[in-house]
Amino acid sequence: MLTEALAVVSGSLVGLVLGLLGGGGSVLAVPLLLYVVGVRDPHMAIGTSAVAVAASSVINLALHARRGTVKWRCALTFAAAGSLGAIFGAGLGKAVDGQKLLLAFAVAMVGVGITMLLRKPDSGDPDVKISWRLAARLLPTGFAVGVASGFFGIGGGFLIVPGLIGAANMVMLNAVGSSLVAVTAFGGTTAASYAASGLVLWDVAGWFVVGGAIGGLLGVQAGARLTARKGMLTRIFAGFIFVTAAYIAAKSWGALF
């Protein structure tokens, strides 16, 4: 029962951050599974988190779709290329030693935190539409982000959002909503790859998703009330990511050396 309770609490934290900040919570799933829930194998934690992230992002995608913030054609183009990248990245990740993978994951977390701090207010084209020229930018960007997502077993929300803004010139609100299409696709692809190798704890993933649904609903409601403070919340969360990355790096470094 303790494991299930910890999985629900951890999932709630991830869902809360996703709902409140529009992304970034999934990067916490792996360390929460390892150091809170108690999953011992890093590869098993990555596979389980991929399942949980994919399921939780479906819930958040439905909430954004109801608000009309998803640019479906751009998002699906990006997600299709990224899914191929995620297959390639997941294969690489499973071939790397678990502790070395965690050390690389810590470095990636620092990059995610920096990306969060560099976020700018809404700008761009609110009426962006798919075209051949736009697709030529979305496809390679999506593939590269998918590789990173599959390799580290994360949804990649804070990699996808700047990718969509840079490639499609989306406004932040549309990039956040559209990113969840890719998060779902990347997470699902990575999860399928790890599941085929028997690297998913399905019961833990189920309880994690339950917590994610609860946290996501609370996060969306809180976000609507704290719109003016989102910049502060993003900075605080980025700081938390840096601390978590330092902890993971120290643990994995100690295990390696």
pLDDT tens string 235-257: 776 787 788 788 878 877 877 76
- pLDDT for res 26: 66
- pLDDT for res 254: 74
- pLDDT for res 208: 94
Query: Low-confidence residues of the chain, pLDDT below 70?
Result: 21-26, 116, 119-123, 153-158, 223-231, 233-234, 237, 257
- pLDDT for res 33: 93
Question: Which tokens belong to 186?
Answer: 């990347």
Domain count, the chain: 1
Longest dimension (CA), the chain: 53
What is the value of pTM for the model shown? 0.75
Please give the backbone phi and psi of residue 169, each rounded to the nearest 5 degrees, phi first. 55, 40
Please give the backbone phi and psi of residue 40, each rounded to the nearest 5 degrees, phi first. -90, -35
- pLDDT for res 205: 94
160 half-sphere exposure, CB direction, 13 A CA radius: 41
> Which structural domain, as residue segments, surrounds residue 123?
2-256
How would DSSP label each residue in 195-246? Answer: HHTT---HHHHHHHHHHHHHHHHHHHHHHHH-GGGHHHHHHHHHHHHHHHHH
